[in-house]
Amino acid sequence: MMRSLLVRGMLVGLAAAALALVVAWIYGEPQVGHAIAFEEAHAAHEGHEPEVVSRTVQKTAGLITAMAVYGVALGGLFSIAFAFAHGRLGRLGARATAALVALAGFVAIELVPFLKYPATPPAVGDPETIGSRTALYFGMVALGVLATTAAVIVCRRLVPRLGAWNAVIASTAGFAVVIGLVYRLTPKPNAIPEHFPATVLWDFRIASLGVQLVLWATIGLLFGYLTERALAHHPARTAVPAGT
Amino acid sequence: MAQSAVPPAGTSPQARPAPAPLRVPIREILPWAVFAVVLGAVLIYFVGAEQGATSLFGGTWVHEFTHDGRHLLGFPCH
């Protein structure tokens, strides 16, 4: 059971990465190009560093590899989260559970870090602070995962007392307060160079958000569809009575 | 498929189809969860962070090769 869920998650992650790649090429790459042109125009006097990997390879093989590996990793982690959630969120079926887990994953891993430490195009960000920015970013991912998991657990406990609707509202509000407090208390290392075009920054960030949105939506919907279909074909072999 | 699942005493999943959606027992998920988290962490580390803040290998090839993906997926790149 778990083996097939994990394999399915990784393959679905790969398919989702392929769709996200299309978004990255259409909406993201032009902005990366603009940012690199800006970077080169403003660093021209410092002399040209030798290229380790050409732009063409970065845009094609490099981006494809990065997206594929990221998609497989996310898909695998998603399938584990799905296994924990399925049968434990009321009476939701496989499709609804997968969609909810994908929504929670998007909020935890993408939205929570993004709102505080949004994606930055080349030329934005001080190389001197890469260490602290990396730590803050992954710390925010960890916080997103912990806070979302906590909200789901609290919500499940509140359902018998408040009913499903109010329990979701209460736990979401608690989640928002915690995240809002952490946002207020964490530092923000801003290093946007002077005269960097605001439209490029905005378009790049929206493209980055779009890539992640397509990735998560595809994982959630495709995984749910495939799992629902697999369970319908083999209900007796895979079902374990509730109460465990 | 569910050979390692231990059904609760007195029930048999084969004889009586479950009324609720399937629920994989936690102890069956855990080893797979550890495997997926370790694998996922290694993969995400190499896509998102190697040769940025920390380096396991010398040079900048991994950083430069994953450069566009790193930026577009939202990781701090440089």
- Within B1-78, where are the H helices? 26-48, 61-65, 67-73
Same domain, A61 and A106: yes
A88 vs B23: CB contact, 8 Å cut-off? yes
Residue in chain A lying closest to B23 (CA): A87
A77 vs B68: CB contact, 8 Å cut-off? no
Residues of B with Cβ-Cβ distance to A234 under 8 angstroms: 1
In whole angstroms, what is the distance from residue A69 CA to residue A24 CA? 15
Check residue A51 and give its pLDDT: 79
pLDDT band for position A67 (cuts 50, 70, 90): very high
Check residue A45 and give its pLDDT: 59
**Residue-by-residue DSSP string for A66-111:** HHHHHHHHHHHHHHHHHHHHTTTSTT--HHHHHHHHHHHHIIIIII
A125 vs B46: CB contact, 8 Å cut-off? no
A95-99, A114-118, A129-133: segment of lowest average pLDDT: A129-133
Check residue B6 and give its pLDDT: 46
What sign has the CA pseudo-torsion B7, B8, B14, B16? negative
Among residues A168, A191, A214, the one where a domain terminates is: A191
Assess if residue A169 is contained within a domain. Answer: yes
Note the ipTM here.
0.89
pLDDT band for position A129 (cuts 50, 70, 90): confident
Higher pLDDT, A53 or A175: A175
Same domain, A7 and A82: yes
Check residue A235 and give its pLDDT: 61
Among residues A172, A191, A210, the one where a domain terminates is: A191
pLDDT tens digits along B30-73: 999 999 999 999 999 999 988 888 888 888 889 999 999 999 99
Nearest to A91 among B20, B49, B73 (CB): B20
Check residue A125 and give its pLDDT: 83
Nearest to A110 among B1, B37, B74 (CB): B74
Same domain, A60 and A177: no
Same domain, A202 and A183: no
Yes or no: say if A87 and B23 are a contact pair by the CB < 8 Å rule.
Answer: yes
The amino acid at A206: I
Yes or no: say if A243 and A60 are a contact pair by the CB < 8 Å rule.
Answer: no
Count A/B contacts: CB-CB distance under 8 Å.
Answer: 208
- In this predicted structure, the answer to whether residue A104 has a pLDDT above a threshold of 80 is yes
* CB proximity list for A114: less than 8 A, separation 6 or greater: A208, A209, A212, B74
- In this predicted structure, the answer to whether residue B20 has a pLDDT above a threshold of 90 is no
pLDDT band for position A192 (cuts 50, 70, 90): confident
Same domain, A12 and A109: yes
Nearest to A77 among B40, B65, B71 (CB): B40
B2 vs A94: CB contact, 8 Å cut-off? no
Range of the domain at A166: 130-191
Same domain, A35 and A82: yes
Burial class (CB in 10 A: 0-12, 13-18, 19+), A93: middle
Assess if residue A171 is contained within a domain. Answer: yes
A97 vs B21: CB contact, 8 Å cut-off? yes
Check residue A126 and give its pLDDT: 83
pLDDT tens digits along A1-20: 899 999 999 999 999 999 99
> Using alpha carbons only, how large is chain B's radius of gyration in Å?
21
Least Cα separation, residue B45 to chain A (angstroms): 9
Nearest to A63 among B23, B40, B69 (CB): B69
Assess if residue A49 is contained within a domain. Answer: no
Same domain, A134 and A24: no
Assess if residue A229 is contained within a domain. Answer: yes
Least Cα separation, residue A28 to chain B (angstroms): 7
Same domain, A151 and A204: no
Least Cα separation, residue B3 to chain A (angstroms): 9
Assess if residue A48 is contained within a domain. Answer: no
Assess if residue A184 is contained within a domain. Answer: yes
Residues of A with Cβ-Cβ distance to B60 under 8 angstroms: 52
Higher pLDDT, A75 or B6: A75
Assess if residue A217 is contained within a domain. Answer: yes
Same domain, A78 and A103: yes
A62 vs B69: CB contact, 8 Å cut-off? yes
Same domain, A80 and A18: yes
Q: What is the mean pLDDT of chain A?
A: 91
Least Cα separation, residue B78 to chain A (angstroms): 5
Same domain, A109 and A229: yes
Same domain, A89 and A200: yes
Assess if residue A234 is contained within a domain. Answer: yes
Nearest to B44 among A73, A92, A239 (CB): A73
